[in-house]
Amino acid sequence: MSGQSLTIIHFNDVYNIEPQKDEPKGGAARMASYIKSCQELNPVVLHGKDILNPSLMSIFMKGDQMIPIVNSLNVQCAVFGNHDFDFGVDHLQEFMSKTKGCAWLLSNVIDNLSEKPLANGKTQHIINAHGIKIGLIGLVEHEWIDTLATLDPEDVTFEDYIERGNELTRSLKEQGVDVIIALTHMRTPNDRRLAENVDDIDLILGGHDHDYSLEVVNGKNIVKSGTDFRNLSKITLTFTSSGLKVGVERVDLDSSIPEDPQIQKIVAHLNEEISEKMDEHLGFTHVDMDGRFKIIRKMETNLGNFVTDIMLEISKADCALLNSGTFRSDRIHPKGQFKLRDLLTILPLVDNLIVIECTGAEVVEALENGVK
């Protein structure tokens, strides 16, 4: 196989199909345009999910706005993300049935009722491209199960991703694959653990984390390709006499990349459908509010304080705790009119506010867990 090469396009965790105000502006139309510009390479397009939720549009459409997007991008294989289950398994399977040519993987979570992979995901998949036989598996972490809003953890069985990784890579090797790729939806420390303990995986393409990252562990590239149609990875696999060479190029989908006209029209039409509902005026802010992931998930912000102060006022509790991952806008909200659009962009997930009694020690333990 010496001299043969293959191009892979990877992206993960996409929620908002429209372009953003700040660079890289991204947007589904821009990603579609970039992938089309690579067509002479006939790339294999892989996705690390989430895709159905959360977003402003998903509140009204339950993720169905993504169906023409996925089909236009020619996604060939994906692993389930936790938020893909936000509207239930039945809705997810209906969504899957409308996506063309995409194999959905879930290699290590079993539905106890059917005794099959949850949502009828595949445990492994093989793609033949450019004379190269690519084996794929889809792995998630145990914590992934705890975030499934519509499922009881008792209804599924989690299988250790290292044990399953070793089992499935052996199976794929027996089927004569040339390269094995793990699509994962878990935090980077667990991706590292996977790389350290499953020797036959050649490349790990991750999701769940929203920052772009690239590192090499145990000779394996671990790639996280950003978020929200703003970034992707263009990966070149080259087979040489000395082994497999992996080249990773980060692509930021900034305004220098044109938007695909067909997808642009779809996005514009969908935005028009919900725009009138979203313009309801709720109030006025006198300062910018910071909802950027890199800030709000690591330190105190005025947006975080604003929301938790409201929680305190409503609940009359002594303190309020809110998971910073609940904030989904990933942007600075400028001072001025505050509309329903702003509120639902910041907090698109429908969660209950509850009041409990606990000790001060338990509060400290919860806070310590949050910063681990």
Tens of pLDDT, residues 48-61: 999 999 998 998 89
For domain 4-271, give the fold. Answer: Purple Acid Phosphatase; chain A, domain 2 (3.60.21)
Q: How many CA atoms lie within 13 A of 196 on its CB side?
A: 6
Average pLDDT, the chain: 96
Q: What is the average per-residue pLDDT within 306-335? A: 95
pTM: 0.83
Q: Where in the chain is the domain with CATH 3.60.21.10?
A: 4-271
Distance of CA 261 to the CA centre of its chain: 25
Tell me how far apart the alpha carbons of residues 289 and 257 are, in angstroms, rounded to a whole number.
29
Please, where in the chain does CATH 3.90.780.10 lie? 281-370
Residues with Cβ within 8 Å of residue 131, at least 6 apart in sequence: 1, 4
Q: Position of tokens 């305190």?
A: 312
pLDDT digits (tens, 9 = 90+) for 200-219: 999 999 999 999 999 999 99
| Helix, strand or coil, per DSSP, at residue 231 | strand
Average confidence (pLDDT) over 337-344: 94
Q: How confident is the model at residue 370 (pLDDT cuts 50, 70, 90)?
A: confident
Q: Is it the case that residue 195 has pLDDT exceeding 90?
A: yes
Fold of the domain spanning 281-370: 5'-nucleotidase;  domain 2 (3.90.780)
